[in-house]
Structure 1
Amino acid sequence: MAESESGQDKTEDPTDKRKRDAREKGEIARSKELNTVVVMIVGAAGLLAFGGSMAEMLMQLMRDNFTISREALMDERSMSLMLLASGKTALMSAIPLLLALTIAALVGPISLGGWLFAAGSMAPKFSRMNPLSGLKRMVSPKALIELLKSFAKFIIVLVVAVVVLAKDKNDLLSIAHESLEMAVVHSLQLVGWSTLWMAMGLLVIAAVDVPVQLWDAHKKLLMTKQEVRDEHKDNEGRPEVKQRIRQLQREMSQRRMMAAIPDADVVITNPTHYAVALKYDPDKGGAPMLLAKGSDFMALKIREIAAQHQILLLESPALARSIYYSTEIEQEIPAGLYLAVAQVLAYVYQIRQYRAGRGKRPDPLKENLPIPPDLRRDS
């Protein structure tokens, strides 16, 4: 069972975040044996599929280069052109096979770990340049496993090669009695089939190596219970961080609330424990909106700001408590309080008219405003 540096057993499966972080670092399952087998199989198939056309083009290339006229030999310009044409012919003959091998070299790694480009894995690691670390890796269990795999590959390739040579002995001997063109085509076919059979032998090694690499990659990502808990805290947010964020949010909300108080039409108080600031915009329609509310010290600050900006302070304990508990900041008051608030706003309008000298002093506002029982909050 794997252990962490703290001595705790790594018994928990890796989380999605752990897998993503490992992938970003390039730490995914890879199998060199699978890559080798895929390239060998595709290369052998390419020789069998394109070997005939490659042989014909190469034979034509040899004919053209061995049947040069004397005039061409003495002309430097014609020799350079012939060299260019020969290179083009050789490249064209090999392009199908090279293209197939390139695709195989890409598909091999992608088939196991998927496509990945991790720039971090390309950065130099000075720990790998340490001779002592290199010596430690050479005598590690992983190095022993690689040595055993290499020995197994050698034995398998040797056995397959001996079997193939014994099977194709007559074909190999018959090449000596064939024409040059047939001998070249026949040789490419024998090389293709021999490579294919050796690749099939290495397929056994790959079939064992792939599950081992997947298991080893999963084992490296295992986590302790404490690591899982720490990651969960990081994802959800540590309590002290969340508390600090909530505190900052409250402070920002309070600053916005205090800044909105000068726009209020009236501040209704308890008179000391609660204070709520209301505004009604007839142009926008809708119901009156709550701009600010607070209790105790916050209520005192609301009253102070309202007094500084000459906003009417109105004592109505029952209505102040009802609005405080039923309405949030920047929300409209509930429908049940429309009538009570309408009487308050009408009184505020009459006071403004009186102070402007355009009306008589209004009668004091009634103490028992119409507040529904379900919205009442006793002191």
Structure 2
Amino acid sequence: MADPDKTEAATPKRREEARRTGQVAKSTDLSGAVTLLAALFTIGITGHSMVDRLASGLSTSLLAGGHHDPVTRGTIGALLITNGKNVLLCLAPVVGVCAVTAIVVNLLQVGVRPKTKALKPNFRRLSPKSGIKRIVGREGLVELIKNLAKVTVITVAVLTALLPHLTEYAAMVGVSPLQLGSSIASLVRGIAIRATLAYLLIGVIDYIYQRRHHETGLKMSKQEVKDESKGQDLPAEVKGAIRRRQRDQARARMMADVPTADVIVTNPTHFSVALKYDGRSAAPTVIAKGQDLMALKIREIAADAEVPIVPDPPLARSLHDTVEVGQMIPEDLFHAVAQILAYVYRVAGRRRLA
């Protein structure tokens, strides 16, 4: 369902962000239909030469089989190579035209600017929950209707080409193989053209639907448009000042959390990472981290608050590089962090007893 608050057309910035993530209007049915039409067109042009080449190869094979020379691996291999070349030479124009057509049609739909971000793996797409929603939700219903429509339209196109000639073909018993082959080829060509044109019609309708669906998904609320215009109207100096203020505020909040940490893991001079574990979370959380001067400031605040400081250069570097402030530590660092926390709790317990 479309969000009722999103009534405004997408801004150029929003469209560019969507393109960057691979969100474009594209119809695979249209690409397939145009490619199939190009293949039929190519076969229509090169069909006679393909038949002549294959017939020549078959004739050569039959003549070779009629000789009295012994059949060996060499003679069989030579025949296979010759026939294989003939088949490849027959298919090459069709495959080449199909490949070029598919590339051109896709470029016309999505543009020529590559977006590397769309190629990055997105593990959310592997989520079973998301997959079930796509199958049983609105998208799944639309795909089901499209598939039923494709089958129905193509079936009707094939039947309209076949049924009027059933009596004619039934009366062809006893005709020569050449006449029968010509009639069958004409029938197949008519069926293929009708089915392809029907598929092309479906592809055009699907592309129109995809464009409308894409535009609906890009719509923005009035507040989003207003916020974006505010950000674009600000001078670069003001934007920089806002970002610096936001960084300073985030740094101040981070430093205020240092006294609540359970332990500070250090490099010991270049990196400092503050960890906290409340016993309810699945893993300890990084509440502050810093490098060089920031690391020194974290250690000074921790020392004033009597927070344990434990040197562990490899762990400090790993935590600093892989975990953001506010995030829990990854599973591969559980063991190392657990050992440090156990040591801190043990020392703190002894001091309390003393």
CA distance in structure 2 between the aligned counterparts of 1:125 and 1:242, rounded to whole angstroms = 31
Q: Counterparts of 1:189-208 in structure 2 under 5 Å? A: 189-208=186-205
Counterpart residue number, 1:58: 54
Counterpart residue number, 1:120: 117
Relative to structure 1, the CA distance from residue 20 to residue 66 in structure 2 (aligned partners, 3 Å threshold; closer, same or farther) is same
Q: Counterparts of 1:269-308 in structure 2 under 5 Å? A: none
My pick for the range that moved more, 110-119 or 51-60, is 110-119
Relative to structure 1, the CA distance from residue 243 to residue 52 in structure 2 (aligned partners, 3 Å threshold; closer, same or farther) is closer
Contact residue 6 and residue 219 of structure 2 kept, 8 A: yes
Q: Which structure has the greater CA radius of gyration?
A: 1
Counterpart residue number, 2:175: 177
Contact residue 8 and residue 219 of structure 2 kept, 8 A: yes
Alpha-carbon offset, residue 183 of structure 1? 5.4
Contact residue 35 and residue 108 of structure 1 kept, 8 A: yes
CA distance in structure 2 between the aligned counterparts of 1:230 and 1:175, rounded to whole angstroms = 77
Contact residue 57 and residue 82 of structure 2 kept, 8 A: no
My pick for the range that moved more, 86-95 or 197-206, is 197-206
Alpha-carbon offset, residue 188 of structure 1? 4.2
Counterpart residue number, 1:19: 15
Which amino acid in the other structure matches residue 192 of structure 2?
Answer: T
Counterpart residue number, 1:100: 97
Q: Which runs of 5+ in 2 are unaligned?
A: 245-354
CA distance in structure 1 between the aligned counterparts of 2:170 and 2:107, rounded to whole angstroms = 38
Pick the aligned partner of 1:81 from 78, 82, 87. 78
Which amino acid in the other structure matches residue 160 of structure 1?
Answer: A
CA distance in structure 2 between the aligned counterparts of 1:199 and 1:243, rounded to whole angstroms = 57
Alpha-carbon offset, residue 173 of structure 1? 6.5
Which amino acid in the other structure matches residue 6 of structure 2?
Answer: K
Instruction: Describe the SS at the equivalent of 2:121.
Output: coil
My pick for the range that moved more, 137-146 or 74-83, is 74-83
Instruction: Describe the SS at the equivalent of 1:74.
Output: coil
Counterpart residue number, 1:231: 228
Which amino acid in the other structure matches residue 41 of structure 1?
Answer: L
Q: What TM-score, normalized to structure 2?
A: 0.60
Relative to structure 1, the CA distance from residue 183 to residue 243 in structure 2 (aligned partners, 3 Å threshold; closer, same or farther) is closer
Which amino acid in the other structure matches residue 2 of structure 1?
Answer: A
CA distance in structure 2 between the aligned counterparts of 1:175 and 1:106, rounded to whole angstroms = 46
CA distance in structure 2 between the aligned counterparts of 1:73 and 1:9, rounded to whole angstroms = 83
Pick the aligned partner of 1:212 from 209, 214, 228. 209
Relative to structure 1, the CA distance from residue 39 to residue 21 in structure 2 (aligned partners, 3 Å threshold; closer, same or farther) is same
Contact residue 6 and residue 221 of structure 2 kept, 8 A: yes
CA distance in structure 1 between the aligned counterparts of 2:82 and 2:170, rounded to whole angstroms = 33
Relative to structure 1, the CA distance from residue 187 to residue 63 in structure 2 (aligned partners, 3 Å threshold; closer, same or farther) is farther
Pick the aligned partner of 1:164 from 161, 166, 182. 161
Alpha-carbon offset, residue 186 of structure 1? 5.2
Which amino acid in the other structure matches residue 136 of structure 1?
Answer: K
Which amino acid in the other structure matches residue 36 of structure 1?
Answer: G
Contact residue 162 and residue 187 of structure 2 kept, 8 A: no
CA distance in structure 2 between the aligned counterparts of 1:111 and 1:175, rounded to whole angstroms = 49
CA distance in structure 2 between the aligned counterparts of 1:159 and 1:39, rounded to whole angstroms = 21
CA distance in structure 1 between the aligned counterparts of 2:92 and 2:236, rounded to whole angstroms = 62
Pick the aligned partner of 1:43 from 39, 46, 65. 39
CA distance in structure 2 between the aligned counterparts of 1:240 and 1:213, rounded to whole angstroms = 41
Alpha-carbon offset, residue 176 of structure 1? 7.0
Q: Which runs of 5+ in 1 are unaligned?
A: 248-379
Alpha-carbon offset, residue 92 of structure 1? 0.9
Q: What TM-score, normalized to structure 1?
A: 0.56
Which amino acid in the other structure matches residue 176 of structure 2?
Answer: E
Contact residue 11 and residue 225 of structure 1 kept, 8 A: yes
My pick for the range that moved more, 133-142 or 205-214, is 205-214
Alpha-carbon offset, residue 187 of structure 1? 4.1
Q: Deviations over 1:342-362 (max 9, x none)?
A: xxxxxxxxxxxxxxxxxxxxx
Q: CA-atom RMSD, angstroms?
A: 2.9
CA distance in structure 1 between the aligned counterparts of 2:241 and 2:94, rounded to whole angstroms = 64
CA distance in structure 1 between the aligned counterparts of 2:116 and 2:46, rounded to whole angstroms = 37
Contact residue 27 and residue 206 of structure 2 kept, 8 A: yes
Contact residue 24 and residue 214 of structure 2 kept, 8 A: yes
Which amino acid in the other structure matches residue 8 of structure 2?
Answer: E
Relative to structure 1, the CA distance from residue 186 to residue 92 in structure 2 (aligned partners, 3 Å threshold; closer, same or farther) is farther
Alpha-carbon offset, residue 116 of structure 1? 4.7
CA distance in structure 1 between the aligned counterparts of 2:44 and 2:240, rounded to whole angstroms = 70
Which amino acid in the other structure matches residue 91 of structure 1?
Answer: L
Counterpart residue number, 1:2: 2
Relative to structure 1, the CA distance from residue 11 to residue 72 in structure 2 (aligned partners, 3 Å threshold; closer, same or farther) is farther
Instruction: Describe the SS at the equivalent of 1:9.
Output: coil
Alpha-carbon offset, residue 239 of structure 1? 8.6
CA distance in structure 2 between the aligned counterparts of 1:176 and 1:30, rounded to whole angstroms = 51
2:26 maps to 1:34: no
CA distance in structure 1 between the aligned counterparts of 2:35 and 2:173, rounded to whole angstroms = 28
Relative to structure 1, the CA distance from residue 243 to residue 66 in structure 2 (aligned partners, 3 Å threshold; closer, same or farther) is closer
